[in-house]
Amino acid sequence: MTSPRPGLPGRAEVSVRPARPDDAEAIADVQLVTWQTAYRALLPAAVLDDWDAPAAVDAWRTAVTSPPTPGHGVLVALDGGVVAGFAAYGPAELAAGEEPLPEGPTSELATLLVEPRWGRRGHGSRLLAAVVDLAVAARVVRLQMWLPEEDTVSARFLEGSGWAPDGWVRALDTGGPPLRQLRWQTLIDGDRGVQ
């Protein structure tokens, strides 16, 4: 995990920590604002305009308080005490016909979002580094993440962090045209993190 940065004059302290139940509303807010900003052209209007805020808050609170396995978790990025972004991770689901890696387990970064107004302040990098640290501690050998094919901003971020598409593709039913996603991955070196 990253630790708080020493206070600098005129700069808020930033950190990453495990999410708490009382973060659920802020996590849902970050998700909605980010989706409305970044995915307006990709998701059906009904998904964004008919957002059920109480259901989203309940879902995130459950993810924090009752994760489906010990390998699942949610982290938040803080900027001066405000939740600026979050990441959710857990054991990876294999694609149809895919065999597990013989070297060890794979974890999946289910989502990593930073609210646009907090962008370009390193929150995404700190969240990703914290997920990698947890993966190293759990002896995970690969991290993967599904991204919408048209999400070039997140793709550039992952590529700059040592990730690459691995050739797997899927289409999600969103209630509108299927959302085509590419799977990205990075291999983990237990001694140094991302290879």
Q: Which two tokens stand for residue 144?
A: 């993967």
Per-residue pLDDT of the chain (195 residues; tens, 9 = 90+): 544 444 444 456 999 999 999 999 999 999 999 888 887 777 777 777 778 889 999 999 999 999 999 999 999 999 999 999 999 999 998 888 888 888 889 999 999 999 998 888 899 999 999 999 999 999 999 999 999 999 999 999 999 999 999 999 999 887 777 889 999 999 998 655 555
Domain ranges of the chain: 14-194
Superfamily for the 14-194 domain: Gcn5-related N-acetyltransferase (GNAT) (3.40.630.30)
| Helix axes 53-65 and 24-38, enclosed angle (nearest 10) | 120
